[in-house]
Homo-oligomer: A and B are copies of this chain.
Amino acid sequence: MLDSDCAGFFADANTLDRDAYIHLDYYLECLGDPRVAAAHFCAEQSTAQWKRVGFSEDLRERFAAKVIDLTILNTELAAFSYGLNPNNAGVSACHVTIAHPHGNFGSRIPNLLSAVCGEGTFFAPNIPIVKLLDIRFPDAYLKAFEGPQFGIDGLRDLLQVYNRPIFFGVIKPNIGLPPEAFSHLGYESWLGGLDIAKDDEMLADTPWCPLNQRSALLGAARIQAEQETGQRKIYLANITDEVDRLIELHDIAVANGANALLINAIPVGLSAVRMLRKHATVPLIAHFPTIAPFSRLAHFGIHTQVFTKLQRIAGFDAIIMPGFGARMHTTDVEVCANVEACLAPMGGIKNSLPVPGGSDWAGTLHTIYEKVGTVDFGFVPGRGVFGHPMGPRAGAASIRQAWDAIVADVPLSEYAAQHVELNAAIEFFGNAAPVNGDHS
């Protein structure tokens, strides 16, 4: 591209039709003039060759992605980050905001991804380091998306639970138990006070724990627990499977009494989730496998909040995400950005319940509540309920007691003096802070 051609890939945001463009923030490291690099970056993700040979035409006005802000952070980096192209010098770091005309691809998740984090983005010349930091959609674009069917209000209405977090628990042992034993654990946890007992994200429809049998047992146990406690309960069945089985598994699980469904969003594919959403009669809840490999590093890949927003527009009513604490390798700022991506207004799209997770037990609830700053979140221990030394009923009770202590504004240790389950949790999880495995 000639330097004089670069201008076709720059625009004043105020001159562009707001409804026609999505906005994208990227961190880039490039060789050479950052302005030229940014123009190439836009070309590669839109109309890379903007005229036919021998024709006088210019496709850029309508079809080009355009730089609307370029902030040069550093023009004298000694090298690219992360050891890439180590023989280069004269590296610049930039923050660039791009207006990308969504008419290039439409309201289609796979085509959106191909445009904003595909070959054009990650193979633009002289820009080996790229991180897609954020994405913002005009309401006109969002109109085509169904979004969550229930949202937080709908989930709360199903459970008849208001003004507090929603208490999930991941039934453990996660892999290997037959349906009867597995179901009994879920039942116990509901009696102890969980709102939602869930399958692990790795538990599939296997011969040793078929979904049909598992959901029938847990569906019946859920209804029994509701009758015994007088409270609404949810059995969250994992239907993550091949795409051509999702509808069938939805129907089986729901008919058997599962009243929410877990799907591993990226492994199944966001577009398949959107398909399922059109069919679903119960809330859909996302789990986060395979997001970390492209999001963990500060300056390369795709920021988690991009995927949280995409999971929300794909139709998830709740989004389980890496939460607080060193184990999850996610800064508090990043977790809070993902919570905000669930809760912030987004055109006509309902909100999603954020569920920040990771090594939780009764003692981590207060910190999460403080950091999230609202009761609109889900709390999702695994071991913290099912590894509790007195069993899952006591484990669930310890979580509810921890919340009662927060509401009463009483220190946890003081409240534990009157509550044996909470006391046992503190003694067991609070000292060694074991990270997994055998706690019997």
* Interface residues in chain A, defined as those with a beta carbon under 8 Å from any beta carbon in chain B: 1-2, 5, 40, 43-55, 59, 62-63, 81-85, 103-106, 108-111, 113-115, 117-120, 122-123, 125, 128, 130, 132, 172-177, 181, 185, 201-202, 204-208, 240-244, 264, 266-272, 274-275, 278, 287-290, 292-294, 296-298, 300-302, 322, 326-329, 358, 382-383, 386-392, 434-440
Q: Which residue of B lies closest to A329 (CB)?
A: B128
In the complex, are the beta carbons of B111 and A202 less than 8 A apart? Answer: yes
Bound form: Cα–Cα A335–B106 in Å: 33
For A322, the chain B residues whose CB sits under 8 A away are 123
Q: Which residue of B lies closest to A287 (CB)?
A: B119
Q: Which residue of B lies closest to A326 (CB)?
A: B85
Of B82, B122, B132, B437, the contact of A43 (CB 8 Å cutoff): B437
- The distance from the CB of A77 to the nearest CB of chain B, in whole angstroms, is 14
In the complex, are the beta carbons of A118 and B436 less than 8 A apart? Answer: no
> Could you say how many copies of this chain the assembly holds?
2
Q: Which residue of B lies closest to A297 (CB)?
A: B82
For A1, the chain B residues whose CB sits under 8 A away are 434-438
For A292, the chain B residues whose CB sits under 8 A away are 119, 122-123
For A294, the chain B residues whose CB sits under 8 A away are 290, 293-294, 301
**Contacts A176-B47, A206-B106; is A293 near B302 (CB within 8 Å)?**
yes
For A2, the chain B residues whose CB sits under 8 A away are 437-438
23 residue pairs of the A-B complex, CB under 8 angstroms, read A1-B437, A2-B438, A40-B435, A46-B175, A48-B175, A48-B382, A48-B436, A49-B387, A51-B173, A52-B181, A52-B386, A81-B82, A83-B297, A84-B296, A104-B202, A114-B202, A117-B290, A118-B202, A119-B288, A122-B296, A123-B322, A244-B274, A293-B301
For A54, the chain B residues whose CB sits under 8 A away are 391, 440
Q: Which residue of B lies closest to A201 (CB)?
A: B114
In the complex, are the beta carbons of A275 and B243 less than 8 A apart? Answer: yes
For A391, the chain B residues whose CB sits under 8 A away are 53-54
In the complex, are the beta carbons of A125 and B52 less than 8 A apart? Answer: no
Interface centre among A292, A389, A435, A437, by most chain B C-beta atoms within 10 angstroms, is A437
Of B45, B53, B267, the contact of A110 (CB 8 Å cutoff): B267
For A106, the chain B residues whose CB sits under 8 A away are 204-206
**Contacts A123-B358, A267-B110, A267-B113; is A173 near B50 (CB within 8 Å)?**
yes
**Contacts A114-B264, A208-B103; is A49 near B329 (CB within 8 Å)?**
no
In the complex, are the beta carbons of B59 and A109 less than 8 A apart? Answer: no
Q: Which residue of B lies closest to A279 (CB)?
A: B244
Bound form: Cα–Cα A311–B54 in Å: 39
In the complex, are the beta carbons of A268 and B110 less than 8 A apart? Answer: yes
For A243, the chain B residues whose CB sits under 8 A away are 110, 243, 269, 271-272, 274-275
In the complex, are the beta carbons of A439 and B49 less than 8 A apart? Answer: yes
In the complex, are the beta carbons of B297 and A439 less than 8 A apart? Answer: no
For A49, the chain B residues whose CB sits under 8 A away are 172-174, 382-383, 386-387, 436-439
In the complex, are the beta carbons of A300 and B293 less than 8 A apart? Answer: yes
Bound form: Cα–Cα A300–B299 in Å: 13
